[in-house]
Structure 1
Amino acid sequence: MSTKVKSADDLPKKPGIYIMKDSEDKIIYIGKSKSLRNRVKSYFKDKYDTPKTQILMSHFNSLEYIITDSEKEALILEANLIKKHKPKYNIRLKDDKRYPYVKITDEDFPRLIITRNITKTGSYFGPFTDVGSVRQTVKFLKSLFKIRTCRRMDGPCLNSQIDLCYGPCGGNISKKEYKKLISKIDLFFQGKYSQIIKNLKKEMKEAAISENFEKAAVIRDQIISIDEIMEKQFVDFKDELDQDIIAMSFDGDSAIVVVFSVRDGKINGKDDFLMSGAKNNKSNEVISAFIQQYYGINRHVPKEIILEEAIKDKEEEKLLLDWLTDLRGEEVEITVPLEGSKLRLIRMVAKNADLIKKQKKKMKNAMIEIKKYLKLEKLPRIIEGYDVSNISGKLAVGSKVSFKDSIPNKKQYKRFKLETPGPDDYGMMRELLSRRLKPLSEGEGEEPNLILIDGGKGQLKIAIEVLKKYNLEHIPIIGLAKEFEEIFIPQSQIPIRIPKTNEGLHLLQRVRDESHRFAVTYHRKLRSKEIEGSELDDIIGIGKTRKINLLKHFGDIETIKKADINEIANVKGLNKKVAKNVYDYFKKTVQKVQ
């Protein structure tokens, strides 16, 4: 529980954290100290040491504090409270990307799952930026070590019957043996591949000595599988290392921090983070705050952390090292290389940070350009794109894609099977937008800053009508016609032409092209399903090519059924004889139904 104070003299000379608030009782800064009284007193001076302190104190109104048993405890509490309250004047690690983690559950027979939420139970590894790769890895490990996947252990499942699980629910494996499998997976995600191989070879030898050749063969296959996946996924170094290499690049009020992870002598991860509130702070202060918040959640702490520059506050560095050592369970080292391979590594990571900064700046510039050309009130951080796809009105589908801060936000993508009879592209667009915007008008979901329609004046007119119907006319909307890359806006007959080299136009084109791709992909998927399992397969003379030609020509089976012989014969690749077979087949089918 925190305690309010009126004066710095009221504070104890003990370790703890102090919480600064503004006149609205909102937390604006959280700090730690080994002596609360001495630290807080330093804020109340006639002249401030830094511009940051001056700005902070101009908003300061009240202060609370929490005493801790040690400075190390204060460090942990400070990181947790910063993460929870996100004070304006603290340097904060922003992880809006919500990358997934791999979790080993805390159960008698643990499972391996992918999650985006970290709780107090279980062991976590990550975050992982390549979602597809981590899914493949988890799938590989589940099948390799045959651990359970079912949520409830209510009897032998299919996996245990087909030898994909050791079947703990059926009593086929002891807790002790099962925990050995989990320990191997734990080592895998820590990057200790040589340790896994060493343990497996020992088990294989013991199994062979005991003449348990079946078990020895299983272990042999596991060793081969791990060797193969390691060769594919990682870049080798000469030494066996366990390091995190951390570098950063300032970008105005924030800083881009890049982390390369080296485990067992191999690069097995790269990630980037945004530290907000970095303005008016020194680079080593930002890195210190990053280390505190980055390792403050359930992450692997490496043996060595390599930085571009030293943490100048030696007491702060010692505190961080003591804390990291406690987390790891053995000594951790922070180094700043001046030569050799480590210096080359840190330079490589720093170049990555600069490159990401440039890319993020380019993305922001694109949004600024769109705002300028379209005269928008707000920066278009969320842009939604819409398109429809059909063949002569058949198998009509619609797509919605969403870009957030110039990057595809695939969690917000959606596809629709459209019921509007065709061909009627305008009607289909009306249905698509109505199905999306009606829930939005009822308070479901986040409003976009800009809606983009793949099309010109006609499509835009329909979209405006739908917005008006649902009282959403305040949402900016445009149509982007592909032929001349003209942008159509409401209440103007003259299209806007953004220069072809402009970053804003490039972003709008990406949204338009992505909505088109997403719609076409879904349409092809539905067509493939119809082609794969079709009544046409039972007709003499109709193979795969003729079947595709028929469906392309008529759109669907129902239209083929209604066609006469001459119409069927006009289809590419068909003759009168085959056309008669098709006609007679469906005529008989109709008669049977009747």
Structure 2
Amino acid sequence: MSATISNPNDLPEKPGVYLLKDVQDEILYVGKAKSLKKRVKSYFKEELEDPKTRVLMRHFHHMDYLVTDTEKEALILESNLIKKHLPRYNIRLKDDKRYPYLQITSEDYPYYGPFTDVTSVRSLLKLLKPVFQLRDCKRMDGSCLNYQIDLCPAPCSGQVTRKYYHENVEKVKLFLEGRQKEVMDLLKKEMEQAAANHHYEKAVVIRDQLFSLGEVMEKQKMEFNRSLDQDIIATANDGEIVVVVVFRVMNGKIMGKDDFLMEGAQENSPPEILAAFIKQYYSGPRKVPAEILLPVMIDDRDLIEKWLSDKIHDGEYDGAEGTVDVEDLSGMDLNTFSVSLRVPDEGLEYRLVQMVTKNASIILNHHKQARGALLDLKTYLKIPRIPRRIEAFDISNLAGQMAVASMVVFEDGKPSKNHYRKYKLETPGPDDYGMMREVLTRRYNKLMDKGETPPDLVVVDGGRGQLNIAIDVLDSLGIKTGVIGLAKEFEQVFIPEVAIPLILPSNSPALHILQRVRDEAHRFAVKYHKNLRDRNLKSSPLDEIPGIGPKRKMNLLRHFGDFESVKNASIDEITEVKGIHRNLACEIYGYLHQAKD
């Protein structure tokens, strides 16, 4: 059940979740309780010790509550409501994304994707693919280029048996579970068996696999004698920025690291920050380890241990992309398995926790440096907010043809590539101003339609003209935010209502951020334009015309920009292309218009 009240004495003495709200009915804080009445009454004491709670209660007007059957249900509901509503006074994972995860599909020939911890897993798969020859495409209509260059055994065209391919996949699963030694032993046995049966070519292939796998394992330098999966979590807080770092340990090997920013946590204690993080971090489709090592113990330890253990017993994790089946590859009984939260006080595990804590402090310092540069940028540009989110735009075209635009996003001074966008432009060219107007209008119309928050700073590549276009578009949509133009020549920064462009000191970290943003927008636009151009060059109806070879086709497409423009050109216009005489121009025109008819 749920209800709205303003007096805590009206609350039941049952487990549940409470939502503290202001006079506008905005949710200020979400909490869970074993007894709603006892917990919420603590907010109404005359003397509140916690400064953050004192500020919260100044804005309090009324509350909603939801009763649950158990405290564990309240814990899960609390986590879901915090993610959904992002209350101002809750500790929150900054930009808590539903990270993609590694998946082995149930097809006859499984492929991989998407991935958690994208950078490290992509690097690992890059190393493993040539060793185990994994299929990474969805096509099943015959062998592709990967087969030709010995990166895939082409199961889709029957070059290997289903059994052979699945044996390779099982080895990859073992490897990704941290059981590399088992994989090495298995391969050694297969090599010896192949040699004993005089299958020397197969033995050589396996020998090469062993060698390559040994090189992969060399890259995992940190190893210790534990067969247990563990996550080691620590936090650092300077009163303005809060960082949490997670080291993932599998079978005694450190397999990866993640770091996160926490919002609304600056005035909270380390146990409170860690508890909030654990509840949000493991609520998604993430593997729960046997142990979680911490520098300090959190409140609700028993409840959180039970919740995490139940996630394993249930055998699946609810995720944004569906569900992930949890398969026990270590032989343990998941029905009796329990998760443990521990604070080691000596030995290797203690040193590991200290190492993760040190990493958190180092990452915090990086964020402080970036925050300082962004603060300088706010001062230089005279914009209302620190530019924590910057959106930058660039145009790329070939004499007005095949025009594209890029939008790149930087958050807290770092690229946020999952927010990048690319646009095919329809503005007839060459018209750089019109193209900039088109991309900005498309981007910010969509932002307004979705009710999203505008960025703190919009950067357009170019000078006063491009800046005026950006100002006009943003004003027409009623968007009030910082906007500048950044010219490549002399690194001039054009600011609204300031006649003389700003020149930032060449050694300024604020300038370096702007340069990285501008250069990244340019790189992304040029890459997209090149991909489109290459796609046009690779396959075209021009290939069917007698007398048109690769060189003439390239000249035609470069001159006109794309195939449609060639098709719409007159004979005289086609004759202007290098290497095309009038008779050939007539043939091209006749062929294309015959095909059209």
The question of whether the paired residues in 1 share the 8 Å contact of 2:459 and 2:485 is answered with yes
1:300 aligns with 2:290: no
CA distance in 1 between counterparts of 2:241 and 2:120 reads 24
Change (3 A) 1:338 1:400: same
Change (3 A) 1:288 1:137: farther
What is the CA-CA distance between 1:249 and the residue it aligns to? 0.8
What letter is aligned with 1:250?
N
Tell me the equivalent position of 1:64.
65
Tell me the equivalent position of 1:434.
438
Equivalent position SS for 2:44? coil
Equivalences for 1:150-189 in 2 at 5 Å?
A: 157-158=141-142, 187-189=174-176
What is the CA-CA distance between 1:244 and the residue it aligns to? 1.1
Change (3 A) 1:397 1:53: closer
1:414 aligns with 2:418: no
Can you list the C-alpha shifts for 1:345-392, whole angstroms capped at 9, x where unaligned?
A: 223322322232223233333333333222223443443333445677
What is the CA-CA distance between 1:258 and the residue it aligns to? 0.4
CA distance in 2 between counterparts of 1:245 and 1:193 reads 21
CA distance in 1 between counterparts of 2:10 and 2:473 reads 62
1:518 aligns with 2:524: yes
CA distance in 2 between counterparts of 1:321 and 1:147 reads 37
What is the CA-CA distance between 1:173 and the residue it aligns to? 6.5
Equivalent position SS for 1:43? helix
Equivalent position SS for 1:319? helix
What is the CA-CA distance between 1:489 and the residue it aligns to? 2.7
Unpaired runs of 5+ in structure 1? 116-124, 151-155, 565-581
What letter is aligned with 1:248?
T
Moved more, 217-226 or 320-329: 217-226
The question of whether the paired residues in 2 share the 8 Å contact of 1:453 and 1:479 is answered with yes
Tell me the equivalent position of 1:497.
503
Q: Among 213, 217, 230, which residue is 1:227 paired with?
A: 213
The question of whether the paired residues in 2 share the 8 Å contact of 1:451 and 1:477 is answered with yes
Moved more, 127-136 or 504-513: 127-136
Can you list the C-alpha shifts for 1:287-315, whole angstroms capped at 9, x where unaligned?
A: 1222222223332222332222233x4xx
The question of whether the paired residues in 2 share the 8 Å contact of 1:478 and 1:490 is answered with yes
Equivalent position SS for 1:235? coil
What letter is aligned with 1:414?
K
Change (3 A) 1:282 1:229: same
The question of whether the paired residues in 2 share the 8 Å contact of 1:429 and 1:463 is answered with no
Tell me the equivalent position of 2:485.
479
What is the CA-CA distance between 1:263 and the residue it aligns to? 0.8
What letter is aligned with 2:341?
I
What is the CA-CA distance between 1:514 and the residue it aligns to? 1.9
The question of whether the paired residues in 1 share the 8 Å contact of 2:389 and 2:456 is answered with yes
Equivalences for 1:267-346 in 2 at 5 Å?
A: 267-311=254-298, 313=299, 316-328=300-312, 329=334, 330-346=337-353
What is the CA-CA distance between 1:132 and the residue it aligns to? 4.2
Equivalent position SS for 1:247? strand
Tell me the equivalent position of 1:122.
none
What letter is aligned with 2:62?
N
Tell me the equivalent position of 2:515.
509
What is the CA-CA distance between 1:554 and the residue it aligns to? 8.8
Tell me the equivalent position of 2:113.
114
Tell me the equivalent position of 1:258.
245
CA distance in 2 between counterparts of 1:556 and 1:148 reads 31
CA distance in 1 between counterparts of 2:85 and 2:131 reads 37
Tell me the equivalent position of 2:80.
80
What is the CA-CA distance between 1:200 and the residue it aligns to? 7.4
Unpaired runs of 5+ in structure 2? 313-333, 567-571, 591-597
1:90 aligns with 2:94: no
Change (3 A) 1:355 1:439: closer
Equivalent position SS for 1:297? coil
What is the CA-CA distance between 1:510 and the residue it aligns to? 1.5
What is the CA-CA distance between 1:259 and the residue it aligns to? 0.2
1:126 aligns with 2:130: no
Q: Is the radius of gyration larger for structure 1 or structure 2?
A: 1
Tell me the equivalent position of 2:327.
none
What letter is aligned with 2:584?
T
Tell me the equivalent position of 1:577.
none
1:401 aligns with 2:401: no
CA distance in 1 between counterparts of 2:481 and 2:33 reads 48
What is the CA-CA distance between 1:260 and the residue it aligns to? 0.7
The question of whether the paired residues in 2 share the 8 Å contact of 1:258 and 1:352 is answered with yes
What is the CA-CA distance between 1:280 and the residue it aligns to? 3.1
The question of whether the paired residues in 2 share the 8 Å contact of 1:243 and 1:305 is answered with yes
Tell me the equivalent position of 1:455.
462
CA distance in 2 between counterparts of 1:249 and 1:501 reads 29
Equivalent position SS for 1:484? helix
Can you list the C-alpha shifts for 1:86-131, whole angstroms capped at 9, x where unaligned?
A: 33333223344554222456x687965535xxxxxxxxx7354557
CA distance in 2 between counterparts of 1:401 and 1:251 reads 30
The question of whether the paired residues in 2 share the 8 Å contact of 1:259 and 1:272 is answered with yes
Can you list the C-alpha shifts for 1:463-484, whole angstroms capped at 9, x where unaligned?
A: 667767x667856543323332
CA distance in 2 between counterparts of 1:563 and 1:67 reads 77
What letter is aligned with 1:333?
S
1:364 aligns with 2:371: yes
CA distance in 1 between counterparts of 2:534 and 2:573 reads 17
Tell me the equivalent position of 1:50.
50
What is the CA-CA distance between 1:496 and the residue it aligns to? 1.7
RMSD: 5.1
Tell me the equivalent position of 1:576.
none
Equivalent position SS for 2:113? strand
CA distance in 2 between counterparts of 1:8 and 1:449 reads 40
Change (3 A) 1:95 1:131: farther
The question of whether the paired residues in 1 share the 8 Å contact of 2:112 and 2:136 is answered with no
CA distance in 2 between counterparts of 1:471 and 1:503 reads 32
Tell me the equivalent position of 1:567.
none
Pairs aligned (count): 541
Equivalences for 1:141-152 in 2 at 5 Å?
A: 143-144=133-134, 149=138
Change (3 A) 1:279 1:386: closer
The question of whether the paired residues in 1 share the 8 Å contact of 2:92 and 2:276 is answered with yes
Equivalences for 1:212-251 in 2 at 5 Å?
A: 224=210, 227-228=213-214, 230-231=216-217, 233-241=219-227, 242-251=229-238
Change (3 A) 1:137 1:66: farther
Q: Normalized against structure 2, the TM-score is what? A: 0.71
What is the CA-CA distance between 1:419 and the residue it aligns to? 6.8
CA distance in 1 between counterparts of 2:442 and 2:344 reads 58
CA distance in 2 between counterparts of 1:457 and 1:229 reads 54
What is the CA-CA distance between 1:256 and the residue it aligns to? 0.9
Equivalent position SS for 2:344? coil
Equivalences for 1:373-412 in 2 at 5 Å?
A: 373-389=380-396, 398-410=405-417, 411-412=419-420
What letter is aligned with 1:270?
K
CA distance in 2 between counterparts of 1:462 and 1:563 reads 35
CA distance in 1 between counterparts of 2:470 and 2:7 reads 60
The question of whether the paired residues in 2 share the 8 Å contact of 1:253 and 1:277 is answered with no
The question of whether the paired residues in 1 share the 8 Å contact of 2:494 and 2:502 is answered with yes
